[in-house]
A and B are shown apart, each in its own frame.
Chain A
Amino acid sequence: MNRRRFLEAAGASSVAGLAGCLDALGFKERSAYAPPLVENRPDAVYYPTHVEAMTVRQIATDGPYKCAFTYTYPHRFWLVTGDRTNKVSIQPDDSIHAMPIVWHEETGVVPPNANPTIELRHDGEALPSNSPWPMLSQPMGVHFGDNISLPENGTYTGTVTASFTGTKRTGALADAPDRASFDLDFTFLKERRDGLQYRKLDNAGDAGAVEPMTMKKLPNTALPESLPGESVGEKKSGDAVVDVRRIADATRFGGRESETYLAVSLRTPYNRYPLPLTSVSATVDAGGDTAFDGPLTATLDPDLGYHYGASLAADDWSTVEVQFGAPPQIARHEGYETAFLDMPAVSISP
């Protein structure tokens, strides 16, 4: 069951628009959006306390790229620096959790390192520009988001600009322009926001994840079930799935035809979201010789999606050890903030 059907099926008894309730309970637009965190959160992916719908206000196009301007209630989230997380609480003047979703239309890939900037105008005045953080949430996967303040109901115009040069790209992604700029023009209504569906989960804190939502016009950021090449082996580190793959002919990735491409698909359990912004290294032993020992390059590929890779001369790998110098530095929504932080090396023998 996808998330939208789930919300529809849940019915009026458990799904409540927030409008009205908040006033009746005397809540301000502050903490009501986020129930207390569950106690004893596991050091792994877990079901969050609640899920919320979002609204897609506009989809704009610039060449091969699309941008959907979406928002939901202000959210708490966690920024990551090194292996430390820092909880960001909802501020009193936060109006929405703004999420400009930028993707490459042909491949459906959402570049996690594009760092879009939102510049908005309202009533003739420029609002402070905002650069939302790269983030990971269970319903949405990789996106960009931040809590921002909109002064009042009304029309907002402006631009979202994004740059795609921060990550190595292959295939159609490499041929696409380095920058994109999207015009925004949307109406913000507090009432619409407060009518977004919101549901508490009974199994909050249990190991697992809310299913990815599917929305017709938006990309699914989960990696496909079938990835190119042959899986050499799969293990877990810090609850992340480490899938080591071998692909003959490294030409497409900048290597030689005679070389073999080593790809590490690092992703979330359950929802198969790629885990970007990680320092990944590998040591490959081939017949007693070290065939590779060094950093893997984060790469966006139309078929493999976001992964970490290198081209190797040898293809008879006896062991592949994958090390994590720094865990995924992507900000986390609830349910992901305790996972993928302490990530020991994994050793895979084909």
Chain B
Amino acid sequence: MSDRGIPRREFVKSAVAIGGASALAACLDRGSPDIPTGTTNGGSLPERQHAWNDVLSTDDAGNPVAPRHRVLLLLDYTGDVPTSDDRETVENALRSLERAYEWSDDGLLFTLSYSRAYFDRFDAGPEGVDLQRPEALASFENPELDTPDAVLHLASDHGSAVLAAEEAVRGNADSANGVDTTGFGDVFDVVDRRTGFVGAGLPAENDDVDGVPSGEVSEDAPLYMGFKSGFKGNQASEDSVTIQSGPFADGSTQHVSNIELNVDQWYEQDSRYQRVSKMFCPAHADDGLVEGVGNNLGQSSAMGHCEAPEKAARNSGVVGHSQKMTTVRDESNSPLILRRDFDSTDGGHAGLHFVCLQRGIGEFVKTREAMNGSDLSENSAVGQRNNNGILQYMNVTNRGNYLLPPRSARALPTPTGVPE
């Protein structure tokens, strides 16, 4: 494969989307980044698989910066009731990744989660966890409901680390980052592979797919829609999404949807005024509060400046996405979900893999209901999707719900955790 004229970063990102040994080899041939290795002392790592924020870098405003390259492996357990041998195989594979890579965005972060369908083999759901089966969450969506047994989420700022970790767990390689590894063997079948990226520059570099016009996405934008996301003030804390008691204490729940984006309309038909109104709120557009992609907003999207969603819908005929989200908060005024989403070119279409964490799936459902704005649509000039946040530009194709167990119960848990 000729790589003449292709900047290195672009090549790495393409390799993640392609996957496999040759993509990894080609990627490493271009010069291996110096990636820190991990620890042989698994006990030194946090019990929460989702404890990422402490090790993520932060931007100038202090917001955690999401790892740039991602792979989701959807897995089916090949056995019936999990055996202790299979548990050991899974646990050993994950420990070998922890030895190969530092637990950080500069190394590798990962989580392994399990669906309600996985627990069907035990005739019981996970104890003390709100793990609903996935369902369509709006009358205008018709998603495929994903039921793999498990999902492995791999994340790193280095595309090569994500690729090498995938090759290791699949058993296609016996080392990663110069450290010996072991794979999942025949314990899991990979039933789907989803890839992507998030962070300034990457959406702009990946604009040669359907659903996004070339040359329109800002170089500064972390996501295709062209605005900053992941403001600290708009995210739940890791503490608040963590399960507090029971066998899965220190775990969380995870929703994974795939959303096809059509931002052709967003960029070629909407004006900047409309984009700011629909993403943030009409007051932000009226008052020019958002500069560029919105880095000027700091740690929050300044929702205090916006009217209540009902008022904006009645008086401005439009309601912003973030504005609707302000209505779903817990008793300490914190959002209910922690977004860990990323964009994608899977299937040659611009897309978003919406990965988010919350204490129970019901909290995600509540959040999504607020995003639908059905009450606003029935009582104002705002439409079912027209001028109703960013619903116009999204088509949800898949939904799946998972339990993200604590690290000590991450290998093929039973409804009461992992047997001693």
Chain A residues engaging chain B, CB cutoff 8 angstroms: 79-84, 86, 88, 91, 113-115, 117, 119, 126-131, 133-134, 146, 161-168, 178-179, 181, 277-279, 281, 295, 297-298, 325-330
Contact = CB atoms under 8 A, between A and B. Distances in A.
B381 A146 contact: no
Contacts of A91: 268
A86 B273 CA distance: 9
A326 B269 contact: no
Closest 10 CB pairs of A and B: A166-B384, A326-B317, A163-B140, A326-B381, A163-B139, A165-B139, A128-B210, A86-B271, A279-B381, A325-B314
Nearest to B269: A88
Contacts of A146: 265
A255 to B, nearest CB: 16
Contacts of A80: 317
A262 to B, nearest CB: 16
Interface stretch (B56-64, B125-133, B322-330, B372-380): B372-380
A114 B384 contact: yes
Contacts of B315: 279, 325-326
A271 B314 CA distance: 27
Nearest to B263: A128
Given A163-B139, A168-B378, A81 B384 contact: no
Residue among B350, B381, B385 having the largest count of chain A Cβ atoms under 10 Å = B381
A329 B387 contact: yes
A336 to B, nearest CB: 16
23 contacts: A79-B270, A81-B274, A82-B316, A86-B269, A113-B377, A113-B386, A114-B384, A115-B384, A115-B386, A128-B262, A129-B262, A134-B383, A165-B140, A181-B142, A277-B317, A277-B382, A277-B383, A277-B387, A325-B317, A325-B380, A326-B317, A326-B318, A329-B318
Given A79-B269, A165-B139, A179-B139, A277 B381 contact: yes
Give chain A's interface secondary structure class.
Answer: strand
B377 A166 contact: yes
B314 A113 contact: no
A277 B386 contact: yes
B384 A328 contact: no
B142 A126 contact: no
A277 B282 CA distance: 17
Given A115-B386, A128-B262, A166 B316 contact: no
B139 A297 contact: no
B211 interface: yes
Contacts of A115: 140, 383-386, 392
A178 B139 contact: yes
Contacts, number: 143
A63 to B, nearest CB: 15
Contact of A127 (B210, B282, B377, B380): B210
Interface residues of B, number: 43
Nearest to A77: B269
Contacts of A330: 386
Contacts of B379: 295, 297-298
Interface string B238-273: 000000000000000000000010101100111101
A282 to B, nearest CB: 13
Given A84-B273, A163-B140, A297-B379, A326 B314 contact: yes
Interface string B139-156: 110100000000000000
A292 B381 CA distance: 20
B313 interface: yes
B378 A128 contact: no
B274 A86 contact: yes
Nearest to A146: B265
B47 to A, nearest CB: 42
A329 B386 contact: yes
Contacts of B393: 131
A161 B140 contact: yes
Interface string B261-304: 01011001111011001100010000000000000000000000
Contacts of B395: 117, 119, 129, 131
Contact of B381 (A84, A129, A297, A328): A328
Residue among A130, A178, A179, A329 having the largest count of chain B Cβ atoms under 10 Å = A329
B171 to A, nearest CB: 32
Given A128-B262, A134-B386, A295-B379, 12 more contacts: A81-B318, A82-B318, A115-B392, A128-B264, A161-B140, A165-B374, A181-B142, A279-B313, A325-B380, A326-B317, A329-B386, A329-B387
Contacts of B350: 128
B387 A81 contact: yes
